[in-house]
Each structure stands twice: as C-alpha cells, then as structure tokens.
Structure 1
Amino acid sequence: MTILVTGSAGFIGFHVARRLLERGEAVAGLDNLNAYYDPSLKAARLAILEAHGTYRHARLDLADREGVAALFAEAKPQAVIHLAAQAGVRYSLENPHAYGESNLVGFLNVLEGCRAAAACNLVYASTSSVYGANGKLPFSVHEAATHPITLYAATKLANEAMAHAYAHLFGIPCTGLRFFTVYGPWGRPDMSPIKFLSAILDGRPIEVYGQGRMQRDFTYVDDIVDGVVAALDRPAQVDPAWDPLRPDPATSGVAPWRVLNLGAGRPVELMRYIQVFEETLGKRAILEMLPMQPGDVTNTEAAVAATRAALGYEPKVSIEEGVGRFVAWYRDYYGR
C-alpha cells in the first residue's frame, strides 16, 4: 500500500512518515520545504526518510492545483495522511493570506486528489484551537466548536466541514484529529520547547505569557503518532446511532466522517512545564512575566474517551519523560 503523507519534512509529518516506513509501508511524501522556519532542520528530517528505499519525495506547494493533481495521479495512494499546513496561531495575525492558500486552497486540492484517486482513507490534522472561546473543560468533540478566536483555528474548523461534505458526496472516509500542544524531538524552532531550552542554556529570559498561569495539554509526539496510525488503520464509518434531530458534532449519520481529540488528557501548568526543563538541565530559568497574547486561551485539556473507544488510543509519555527525551535530542542535534 502506498500512503501519501503531506508535510512529511515537518515535525509531526516526519515522525508519522518514519513510523510508516519502519513498519514496511511505501510512503510518498509532499513538502515544499518553505522558510517559515530553518529549512536545514527540514532537510535533516528528509534525509532520514530518504534513506528508506520505499520513500519518495515531491517538493510541492499544496496550493499548486495542477501539481497536487499530478502527484495523486502518479503515486496512486490508497490512503492519505494530510499534515501539511501553515502552522502557528500568532503568525496568522501577521500573514493571514498564507493560511487561506495553504489551509483552505491546499486542503481542497487534497480532497480533490482523494476524489480523483479514489483513496480509501483520509486522516488529516485539525487542532485544539478550534475550541476557541469554549471554556468548558475538558474539551470534548461532542460539544460544538463554533467560536474560533484565530484565523488559524477558523481554517481548521473549515477543513472539518469540507471533509464532511466530501465524505458525504464521494464516500471518502475522513478522520480529523485535533492535536493538543505537541512536543518532542525534531520539533519546530518557533515552538516553546526549543525557545525555552535555548534561553535557559544561553542565560536569556524566557517570555512567560499569561503570567505563567496558563495550562496546556502537552502531548508527546510518539503518542500523537500512535493516534494518527491507529486512525489510518481504522477508517471512519457512518455512525448508525447518529440522530439528525440531536446531531453529534463528532460523527455523522450521512458520511464516513469523524473528529477526535489527540491529547494526553493531563494538563500541565506552564510554570510546572518550565520547572521540568530546569530540573532536566540542572539550571534555573530567567523569567519575564508577560500578559496573555491575542489568540491565546487560558487552559486546554483533551477529553480522550472517544478516541480511546474508536482507536484504542492510550497516551503513555509523561511530561517529565518527554522533556527528558527532547533535551537529549536537542543536545545531540545542536551539539550543546
């Protein structure tokens, strides 16, 4: 079976593609290797994937309609894991059009590719940010997500609706996975782990937003990969119990479609998160306490019972173990 993984040189896409290759799958990767962050990190990830004989890469922009269509026609994937997107909540305030091109036009091109290639299963990345102004914790897929507070979240919510339409019209099984604050080796430089770790090592202040009172459901990347691969292996189906008079936002009675949370289900206060870095490094952090930033929410926590029931999902890695693994990778990769 050939599996198309978009964003294969990205943080999560790299880990997913490597897991699939290690279990013997053929992987067609798509990534445009753009300069949103250091392309050398993406190139290093890609070199690991290309060492596998069953990996082949297409350097391609998702918004390139003809290029994406040609890739689907050539690769003929039997399944698609769509992880490429313009990431970053705060960056969406600076460059909104990048999100329209990648997350909306690009996602439509992927859906059309699945339709043309008759791909049997689509698994795609959504985000916990879709819960937006909802303050009811833990965040449940069975509660309607109707009030996103950033453009990034709005594009991902639109992806979920677009996927439902294509699942209904063309029978493409679609699973949207709402990721919660993913961290781990090979992570992006614009994310908090590398920012915090490099600041502590350099003796620079860490910018601590929300006065450090925020909580996040930090989820180690290997646990995320477990969920993604499980969704690949267990395609979405029409929900026979779905009631159109009381519609469940997480499933569908007219389409093989669902949305699921992928989180640890164990929220950690930001100050405890920083403390784990301090304990791992044996060095205190310098803290610069700042107010909340636009688009941030105070707390996130994933309700994962539905994911456990659907996929057998069971996150295993604690924040202490995960940060330890991340620090070990960082020191090795960056020679620090």
Structure 2
Amino acid sequence: MKILVTGTAGFIGYHLAKHLLERGDTVVGIDCINDYYDVKLKYARLKQTGINVAELEYAKPICSESYPNYTFIKLDILDKEQLQACFQKYEFDAVCNLAAQAGVRYSLTNPEVYIDSNIKGFLNILECCRHFKIKHLAYASSSSVYGLNKKMPFSEHDIADHPVSLYAASKKANEMMAHTYSHLFNIRTTGLRFFTVYGPWGRPDMALFIFTKAMLEGKPIEVFNNGNMLRDFTYIDDIIEGIVHVIDNPAEPNPNWDAQNPDPATSKAPFRIFNIGRGAPISLMGFVEEIESQMNVTAKKVLLPMQEGDVAETCADVSNLDDTLNYKPRVSVKTGIANFAAWYKAFYKVGKRQLVAVS
C-alpha cells in the first residue's frame, strides 16, 4: 500500500515507518520536528531511515538513502494548504495519524498547543481523508481517555467520558471527531488507545528514559503517589504489530450495533476503537527495580504525592483486539527494559555517572 504516516520523527512514528518500509509498503512520512524534546533524537531517528537531515527544508520532499520506498517531508499538520498538496500528490491508500502534542503533565501548563495540534491538526487530517477518498484512517488515541474510570481492566466497550487532563480530553475529542466523519462521509476510521509505550528510541519525557538518565547520573528520581502506581507498560514492538494489524483490516460497520444500548467501541458507521496494551500492569516500584537491575545502579527515590492529571492505575482489556484481529501483545517488561538498556548504552556513551550524547 501507499501509506501516509504522520509524526515519523517521533517515537512510535519512526518505528511504524521502518516496519512498513521493511515489509514493502510505500511510505510518506511527515513531521514538524517541534522542540517539545531534544530534536537531536528526532534527527537521529530520521537518519536511521535514511533521511539526510542536512537537506531538511519545510515542505521539501526528501527521498531516503536507505529505503527507495520512503519519502519524508518536514510539514506541520496545521498547515492545511501544504497538507492538501501532499494528499493530492501521493494519492494514499491509508493514513496513520501519530502526529500530536504528547504529554499529560505538559498539558497542565501549555494547554493551547493541544488544541492546535490535537484538535485543529486532526481536523485537517480528517478533511483531507474526506476530500481525497482515503480508504482507511488509523489514528493515535490514548489510555488516558479512561480518566476517572475505576473499572479494571479498561475496556473500549465501557463509557470513557471523564478525562482528567486536557491531553486526554483532546484524544477523546479525536475519537468523537473521527466517528462524525465515519458517519457523515463513510470514512473508515480506527482509534488506537495506546497504554504507556516504552522501548528503544523512546521519548525523553517518559518514565523509563527519565529514570534511566537520572540513575546513571546519580540524581534522584521523582516517584509520584509514593510509588503506589500500576502501569500497563507496553513494548514498542507490540504497539507496532497492533497498528499494522489495524491498518491491514479497515474498520467495518457493526451490523449488530444497538442504538438503545450503544457500544462505544463500534458503530453502525465504519468506526472502531481498540486498546493496544499488554494487559498485565506492574507496579512503578517494580519497573524501577527492573531498570536498576539492567543498568546495575541503585536509584535514589524521592516519594511525592499524586500529580494533577495523573491516574493511579491503568490496565488494558485486550480481548477486543485479540477477538477481532487475532493479535495480543506479548513482550514482557523484563525483555522490553533489557532491549531499551542495550539501545541506551549503544546510543549514549555512558561513563561513570555521566552521559554524553552520540553526535
């Protein structure tokens, strides 16, 4: 297929583009390369897919030196005119929208950027899918949409209408926007609720990266809710396999959908929602202990109360993904952290309590 992947300088987008390219799809990747975190890591990801970052200019297509089936364009999904030109030129079969302003905590202090990227930008994607007859749109949602919901495990078939951060609210809004376009314009859309993604090339604002860096530098780590947290950590390879299963199986209307007892995960329109998580949460302290083991360091812990916008526990019900697409994530946290540790040590030159980024 010819697939547009947005956010390909990002963590998940980079891994997805690489996977699709290696199986033979034609991929066009776009990313605005903002400075939410160190752009050097974003450039390094692009280099891994053969993109010469020295050639980067806004809206200029760059062909990969490693994958003849890959083109990257530095482009903001808020730029409706250039986005439309991209859709018109490449005639995509499918779109996977991973471009978004990420981060729960960042949304507490910078709310405007979430409305711009996650709402306005996503609207531009939907409009392009509408006008250019895209066969399937898959897009990133988040486990954070479950918010105040205490029913465990989190199921797509349950109501999720009480988010506790603007980031979560923007992702829930994406699902509702997608359903509207599925209903009005018969666009096949599938929302993907990711659960705490981690692994090599991960984001520096996520717990695994923050904890590892601090431990190696001999600095204390901040452990919220006094460590009484459970997270359904999901390894990046499992996330990518889930996304690919979804891309290859476009959403269909649910013929049994009942308006008197509506299922939030499906519709009479070609709309679906899937959790992608391991379904086996571990304690935050257990996660820290595994990092300590892999990095051969002992963390200095600062116990703090729960932070605003956060939740104490996440756990994915993955039966819907398994039943519908015959897929279930499998990589253990032990294996996942070991793989991250190997990447981290290779990507960074690690001295005693000192880190120097590889240029």
TM-score of the aligned structures, taking structure 1 as reference length: 0.99
Per-residue deviation, residues 317-336 of structure 1 (Å, max 9, x unmatched)? 10000000000000000122
Aligned position for 2:3: 3
Residue 22 (structure 1) shift = 0.3
2:140 is paired with a residue whose SS is strand
CA-CA distance at 1:138 after TM superposition = 0.5
Give 1:71 deviation, angstroms: 1.1
Of the candidates 332, 336, 340, which is equivalent to residue 326 of structure 1? 340
Matches of 1:282 and 1:48, distance apart in 2: 28
| Mapping for residues 97-176 of structure 1, pairs under 5 Å | 97-176=112-191
Whole-Å separation in 1 of the counterparts to 2:231 and 2:291:
15
Consecutive unaligned residues of structure 1, counting only runs of 5 or more, are none
Q: Which residue of 2 aligns with 1:20?
A: 20
Structure 2 gap ranges (5+)? 50-63, 351-359
Deviation at 1:100, TM superposition (A): 0.5
Kindly state the Cα deviation for residue 57 of structure 1 after the two structures are TM-superposed. 1.0
Amino acid at match of 1:266: A
Structure 1 stretches of at least 4 aligned residues deviating more than 6 Å after TM superposition: none
Q: Residue in 2 aligned with 1:284?
A: 298
Deviation at 1:95, TM superposition (A): 0.8
1:162 aligned counterpart, secondary structure: helix
Question: What are the within-5 Å matches in structure 2 for residues 258-273 of structure 1?
Answer: 258-273=272-287
Q: Distance in 2 between matches of 1:203 and 1:20?
A: 39
Give the aligned CA root-mean-square deviation in angstroms.
Answer: 0.7
* Secondary structure of 1:188's aligned partner: coil
Q: 1:56 aligns with which of 71, 75, 78?
A: 71
Residue 75 of structure 1 and its aligned partner are, at CA, apart by: 1.5
Counterpart of 1:192, as a letter, is: A
Question: Offset at 1:69?
Answer: 1.0
Equivalent residue number for residue 83 of structure 1: 98
- The CA distance in 1 between the partners of 2:176 and 2:68, in whole Å, is 37
Is 2:300 the partner of 1:297? no
State the Cα distance separating 1:173 from its structure 2 match: 0.8
Q: Which residue in 2 is equivalent to 1:31?
A: 31
Q: Aligned partner of 1:235: which letter?
A: P
Deviation at residue 251 of structure 1 after TM alignment: 0.3
Which of 68, 75, 79 is 2:83 aligned to? Answer: 68
Look up the SS of the partner of 2:47 in the other structure. helix
Can you list the C-alpha shifts for 1:140-182, whole angstroms capped at 9, x where unaligned?
1010111011100111101001101111111111000000000
Amino acid corresponding to residue 156 of structure 1 in structure 2: K
- Structure 1 stretch 312-321 or stretch 18-27: which is displaced more? 312-321
Indicate the percent of aligned positions where both proteins have the same amino acid. 53
Is the partner of 1:335 in helix, strand or coil? strand
Q: Deviations over 1:104-150 (max 9, x none)?
A: 00000000111121110110000000000111110010101110111
Look up the equivalent residue of 2:272 and give its one-letter code.
R
Give the drift of 1:53: 1.3
The AA in structure 2 aligned to 1:279 is: S
